[in-house]
Amino acid sequence: MFIMAHRGASGFAPENTMAAFKKALESDADCIELDVRLTKDGVPVVIHDSHIKRTSNGGKQFIHDLTLAELKTYDFGAWFSPEYTGERIPTLEEVLQLIQSCEMQLNIEIKNGPIIPDDLEEKVLDLVYKYNVNHRVMYSSFDHMRLQKIYALDRTAKIGLVFHINLINLFSYVDRIGIDVFSIHPNYFYITSDMVQQAHNRGIKVNTYTLDDPAWAKKYKDMGVDGLITNRLLNFN
């Protein structure tokens, strides 16, 4: 199976930090999944939540209300373990620099809310092309309109539709959105053999999130699921 390290090797290091991404590079992961948001001054940064409270020593301050310089003053590692004290929020550019010289693939998940920035997608694409890693990147989101925009800007972009609801007539939707979909990323508990079959009949891969139990991973592998987004199911060199 295609293994994606969710927010980096986030079972072993603080999520969405350079430490977690470096750890993923030392593992057998094929790909790093990370979440991207835009700062107040328009810089794509890597963080899951819309605010910094859970994963830093800051309070409930929104990413879109803070500049990169302000965000860089907070500690994003100590909440996980004292050994990671001093970790800073990474920019997407810093992660692209890290993976530029290796084979690691990237699943860039576009995040938004409570506001939807105008130009996050353009900025992400510009950076991906600046570092010439477009052939190793896929773009995913729960917000499929953001993916529609990426696809409009770059017809070669690999698009992964993330789902956290169990849609009726999923493939009627997939067939009609006007995107040449590379993969669907449903929450694992909605996946059925029929769903996998219908995806594969269309040449679409099925990647699921977020699975950390080896027995469950085997179950979905046997079902034909192509990829796994995981915090912990990584082997280290």
List the catalytic residues: 6, 48
Choose from Mg ion, ligand G3P, none: what does 148 bind? Cβ within 5-8 Å by kind. none
* Residue 229 touches which of ligand G3P, Mg ion, none (Cβ within 5-8 Å per kind): ligand G3P
DSSP letters of 74-111? S-SSTTT-GGGTT--PPBHHHHHHHHTTS--EEEEEE-
Minimum gap (Å) between residue 193 Cβ and Mg ion: 25
Q: Does residue 15 touch Mg ion according to CB under 5 A?
A: no
Which residues does residue 110 pair with via DSSP β-bridges, in sequence order?
A: 36
For residue 121, state whether it binds Mg ion (rule: CB under 5 A).
Answer: no
Query: Is residue 35 close enough to count as binding Mg ion by CB under 5 A?
Result: yes
Indicate which of ligand G3P, Mg ion, none lies near residue 24 (CB less than 5 to 8 Å, by partner kind): none
Q: CA 128 to CA 136: how far, in whole Å? A: 9
Pick 54 or 101: Cβ nearer ligand G3P: 54
Instruction: Give least dist CB 21 to Mg ion, A.
Output: 14
Q: Site for Mg ion (CB under 5 A): which residue of 15, 49, 109, 226?
A: 109
User: Looking at beta carbons only, is 48 or 219 nearer to ligand G3P?
Assistant: 48
Token digits of residue 110: 């576009």
Min CB(36)–ligand G3P separation in Å: 10
Backbone angles phi, psi at 41, to 5 degrees: -95, 20
Options 79-87, 106-114, 171-179, 180-188: segment touching Mg ion (CB under 5 A): 106-114
Number of H helices, E strands in the chain: 8, 9
Rounded CA-CA distance 45/68 in Å is: 8
Q: For residues 77 and 160, which CB has a smaller minimum distance to Mg ion in the complex?
A: 160
How many residues bind to Mg ion according to rule CB under 5 A?
2
Does 49 contact Mg ion by CB under 5 A?
A: no
Cβ of 17: how many Cβ atoms within 10 Å?
A: 26
What is the radius of gyration, based on Cα positions, of the chain?
A: 17
CA distance 32 to 218: 21
Q: How far is CA 171 from CA 67, 161, 177, 201, in A?
A: 41, 12, 10, 11
Q: How far is the CB of 35 from ligand G3P (least distance, A)?
A: 5
Residues in contact with ligand G3P by CB under 6 A are 6, 33, 35, 48, 109, 140, 162, 185, 209-210, 229
Q: How far is the CB of 69 from ligand G3P (least distance, A)?
A: 26
Q: Which residue type, as a one-letter code, is found at position 83? A: E
Enumerate binding residues for Mg ion (CB under 5 A): 35, 109
